[in-house]
Amino acid sequence: MTEQTSNDAIVEVNYDELIPNNVDLASDARLKKALESWQPKYLDWWNEAGPDHTQNYEVYLRTAVGVDPKGWAKFGHVKMPEYRWGILLAPKEEGRTIPFGKHKGEPAWQEVPGEYRALLRRLIVVQGDTEPASVEQQRYLSKTAPSLYDMRNLFQVNVEEGRHLWAMVYLLVKYFGRDGREEAEGLLERRSADEDKPRILGAFNEETPDWLSFFMFTYFTDRDGKMQLESLAQSGFDPLSRSCRFMLTEEAHHMFVGETGVGRVIQRTCDAMNEANITDPYEIEAVRALGVIDLPTLQKKVNFHTSVTRDLFGAEVSTNAANSFNAGIKGRFAETKIDDDHQLLNDTYTVTRVADGKFVEEDVPALSAINARLLDDYIKDCQGGINRWNKTISKAGIDFEITQPHKAFNRKIGEFESVYVTIDGEIVSEDEWNSKKEEWLCSDADGDYIQSLMEPCTEVGKYAGWIAEPRIGINNQTGEFEYVKIN
Amino acid sequence: MSAIRQHLIDPEICIRCNTCEETCPIDAITHDSENYVVDVEICKACLDCITPCPTGAIDNWRIVHKPYTLEEQFSWEELPEELGIDEDEVEDTVQEASEDEANAILEVAHTGESGKVIPPFSAAHPYINIYNRERPLIARVAGNYRITDDDVESDIHHIVLDFDSKTFPVLEGQSIGIIPPGVDEKGKPHLMRLYSIASPRDGERPGHNNASLTVKRVVYEESGETQHGVASNYVCDLKKDDEVKVTGPFGATFLMPNHATANIIMVCTGTGAAPFRAMTEYRRRHMYKASGKLKLYFGARTPGELPYFGPLKKLNSEFIEKQLVFSRLPDQPKEYVQDRMRNNADSLAELLHSKETYVFICGLKDMELGVDEAFSDICKDNDMDWDEIKQMMRTSGRYHVETY
């Protein structure tokens, strides 16, 4: 049989255009012009603030050439500035209706409703700001990559964060006129950790100083990104929903890098301990003498990254979140799979709060507890990978378990911002907390130790001593595959 | 004992990102708090989930005699060892791509043509394989009418399917696949059946994105039991607004010539009339004054069993020459299409002389041989060599057979 044609389910990317897209950019001259003038600025940003001195590296990257299962994962060596960042939306669902809030059941909006313009723009800008921010946070990491495989994974994360920025900029420029164009410029002007023009969210101004932090970041913080995208994918504003749905497919790679990255660190530590007949995980100096990262330090990293990321969910009880939900702009995690009326006007949700120096469980209107619920879902979602890590440890015969700290530990935003709470959930005085802080969070010395391990390993098929080899290669490549050609 | 190749996910590598579950077009993948698993009852091995998986956990297969249940898979911390069953034991199942399924049916239907078949030079370009078993088009039934008389045994239905706003370009002579829901007694999904489109390319109603089918309810006796054909009974029982899984379009050669000087000889019995209803209607709507002749030989047992008998009779004989032939009329000798063709030997011979003549035969296999003999006899009487003419017609895309 001879020919296939495109249909709604298979939307082809127009690669002849400067900006690959499946949104029929060619027919919207104004939008096309706006994006074409933004693109050189984006490249300038990439070269200035993206992966440092990597312009000539040829990286084995996955590029989306379509949004159908067979088209979105094409692998090949690419120089990153030549990566085809484009605008790809999940296929339109005919007859889609708004799944929640007061507009539930009405046809999904194809244009921005005037009354929610400011709200929507803000949400898109905040989401968009995190994408380039994480690229900036990670810009020096390739210098200390533990292998070419890991370097490639870092770059894949980076280019996809870049594409997610494109996705948000498309929405701003297409639907928000002049304001949108200005916001799009602003996304390229702010810089992570810059005193004068920092990125919007706190956690995105923290540096990613080492590879363990990178893996923790991709596991815990990108998972926040996944939860946020999932909630936005429910949106009544259809273009936002479709953008986020396709971004989620890519986000899965970031989860993978984090979960397997931490998992491989744990594997290597356990293997080294067994080889040296060390059974007590708290013999920290002895374990470190093996050139691997001891498990208690890994736990401290978990404590840090979980607590910082939990702050990203915002105040647990929030009028803003209630408004967004009620307006049909941002739903809950897996909204369509939740069995309730999706309007929440008469429902309550139990939130942990602090009253008279104690934790209390309080039923609050479910609408205002949208963030609390998303945070609870996030904490549950984090546990899966932690269970896998613990299996590795128990298989190695070592008595140690990685756990998530109490929800209130080390929080700077929300219900627990004014209390000092231990990892076990005990409210203590500020002094006591500070005196024990280094039992829970990495000290400078811990950081220095981790930093001391960050020696690059760029030999094909080889891995730094503190991390195990992956179980399978990217796209089923063998161990000797040259994932990055450093020219 | 036959074996199957079961699709499994490696729980040690999977990161539970949900991409596979989201990607699967038929919801064969599910999960609990620990593992993502593939339901062997549903999975068709379309492989859509393979590339999007960020970990490679998805690409695992075990050859088994007894498939692992969902409960077993949920309990795994790692994949079970290979059982060492030989690849040769794996039975071929309908899990092959549906294009192959359709191809196989069409290959049999076109055996009467033998050799390489090409479409008429002026045929419109067909689109094929837009929808398949893994990703079918969901059509809606817009109408279902019995078109044979109530008092006759033959139960033939005219079914109109609406495709809403979905892309589904079909041409007269093409077929579409229908996938009956459910599984057979062996637990396998029912085979797809192909049905010829009975409406022209611009829809059953002009300008509407719909198409019609002509389907006969298959009922037969086997080992003393009355058997009902699964697909045909499913289709004939469809109610208005029911949803139907459709694949295709299929077929790239049995297509009508589009130029006005083409003569079209159409020979059919029973539901074989479907493509000719489509072609005739296209000519009626868009080429009513075409100089090329339309000649229809249409056989049935009685007028009551001849689908579309009423509407056909209304067609102007200037526009189409109708030869309706009946084999079971009371007090009449049996007459078959080939008999009528012999009676029209002169006019047929004249048409066969012309390079503008196209022959299409559609119906039961038995009819094909009779028609071929009739052509042969007609040629003999007129000092023509049928084998030579047939060969020439074939190589120029002017002789087409579709039988079942």
**Closest to A1 (Cβ–Cβ): which among B33, B77, B103?**
B103
**Closest to B167 (Cβ–Cβ): which among A8, A73, A251?**
A8
Residue A13 resides in a domain: no
**Closest to B128 (Cβ–Cβ): which among A3, A253, A472?**
A3
CB-side exposure of B224: number of CA atoms within 13 Å?
Answer: 0
**Rounded mean pLDDT of B299-321?**
87
Give residue B184's pLDDT.
84
Tokens of A35: 């994006």
Give residue A70's pLDDT.
59
**Rounded mean pLDDT of B365-369?**
85
For residue B174, the Cα-to-chain-centroid distance in whole angstroms is 8
Residue A355 resides in a domain: yes
Give residue B114's pLDDT.
56
Residue A20 resides in a domain: no
Give the least confident one: B22-36, B77-91, B224-238, B387-401.
B77-91
CB contact under 8 A, B34 and A384: yes
Q: What are phi and psi of A87, to 5 degrees?
A: -115, 110
What is the total count of domains within chain A? 1
Per DSSP, the residues of B335-396 read --HHHHHHHTHHHHHHHHH-TTEEEEEEE-HHHHHHHHHHHHHHHHHTT--HHHHHHHHHHT
3-state secondary structure A94-127: CCCECCCCCCCCCECECCCCHHHHHHHHHHHHHH
Give residue B115's pLDDT.
54
Q: What is the pLDDT of residues A125-166, one digit of tens each?
A: 999 999 999 999 999 999 999 999 999 999 999 999 999 999
CB contact under 8 A, B12 and A388: yes
B202 touches chain A (CB under 8 A): no
Task: Report the gap between the CA of A383 and the closest CA in chain B (Å).
Answer: 9
A337 touches chain B (CB under 8 A): no
Residue A82 resides in a domain: yes
Task: Report the gap between the CA of B317 and the closest CA in chain A (Å).
Answer: 38
Task: Report the gap between the CA of B52 and the closest CA in chain A (Å).
Answer: 6
CA dist., res. A51 & res. A49, Å (int): 7
CA dist., res. A297 & res. A315, Å (int): 29
Q: What long-range pairs does B72-77 form, CB within 8 A, spacing at least 24?
A: B73/B8, B73/B9, B73/B35, B73/B37, B73/B38, B74/B32, B74/B34, B74/B35, B74/B37, B76/B11, B76/B35, B77/A391, B77/B11, B77/B12
Q: Which residue of B has its CA nearest to A156?
A: B54
Residue A2 resides in a domain: no
A17 pLDDT more than 60: no
B278 pLDDT more than 60: yes
B130 touches chain A (CB under 8 A): yes
Give residue A336's pLDDT.
86
Residues 359-378 in B contacting A (C-alpha not used; CB under 8 Å): none
Give residue B47's pLDDT.
80
**Rounded mean pLDDT of B29-46?**
90
**Rounded mean pLDDT of B357-379?**
91
Q: Highest mean pLDDT: which of A31-40, A386-395, B219-228, B324-333?
A: A386-395
Angle at B22 between CA B21 and CA B23, to 5 degrees: 90
Residue A12 resides in a domain: no
A7 touches chain B (CB under 8 A): yes
A471 touches chain B (CB under 8 A): yes
> Which residue is associated with the tokens 């479709």?
A242
Residues 231-260 in B contacting A (C-alpha not used; CB under 8 Å): 250, 252
Domains of chain B plus CATH, in order, are 1-91 (3.30.70.20), 98-102+125-250 (2.40.30.10), 110-123+253-403 (3.40.50.80)
Task: Tell me B113's DSSP state.
Answer: G
Give residue B102's pLDDT.
72
The pLDDT-based confidence of A403 (bands split at 50, 70, 90) is very high
**Rounded mean pLDDT of A387-404?**
96
CB contact under 8 A, A70 and B135: no
CB contact under 8 A, A260 and B15: yes
B165 pLDDT more than 90: no
Chain A residues in contact with B52 by the CB 8 A cut-off are: 69, 72-73, 249, 252
Residue A3 resides in a domain: no
Residue A315 identity (one-letter amino acid): A
A80 pLDDT more than 80: yes
A11 pLDDT more than 80: no
The pLDDT-based confidence of A471 (bands split at 50, 70, 90) is confident
- Structural domain for A35, as ranges: 25-485
ipTM for this prediction: 0.76
User: Which position has the higher pLDDT, A301 or B404?
Assistant: A301
A433 pLDDT more than 60: yes
Task: Report the gap between the CA of A482 and the closest CA in chain B (Å).
Answer: 18
> Which residue is associated with the tokens 């050189």?
A40
> Which residue is associated with the tokens 């369509």?
A336
Sorted by sequence, the CB contacts under 8 Å of residue A57 that are 6+ apart come out as: A79, A80, A155, A484, A485, A486, A487
Just list the catalytic residues of B: 195-196, 362, 402, 404
Give residue B87's pLDDT.
67
The pLDDT-based confidence of B153 (bands split at 50, 70, 90) is confident
Q: What are the CA-CA distances from residue B274 to residues B305, B360, B385 (Å)? A: 14, 12, 31
B22 touches chain A (CB under 8 A): yes
Give residue A69's pLDDT.
66
A320 pLDDT more than 60: yes
User: Which position has the higher pLDDT, A323 or A249?
Assistant: A323
Residue A217 resides in a domain: yes
Mean pLDDT estimate for chain B:
87
Q: Which of these, B198, B214, B197, B194, lies nearest to B271 by C-alpha position?
A: B214
CB contact under 8 A, B22 and A248: yes
Helix (H/G/I), strand (E/B), else coil: A331 = coil
Give residue A7's pLDDT.
33
Residue A402 identity (one-letter amino acid): I
Q: Which of these, B17, B31, B23, B14, lies nearest to A254 by C-alpha position?
A: B17
Domain CATH number, residue A124: 1.10.620.20
A431 pLDDT more than 60: yes
Q: What is the pLDDT of residues B112-145, one digit of tens each?
A: 655 557 889 888 888 888 888 888 999 999 999 9
The pLDDT-based confidence of A359 (bands split at 50, 70, 90) is very high
Give residue B4's pLDDT.
86
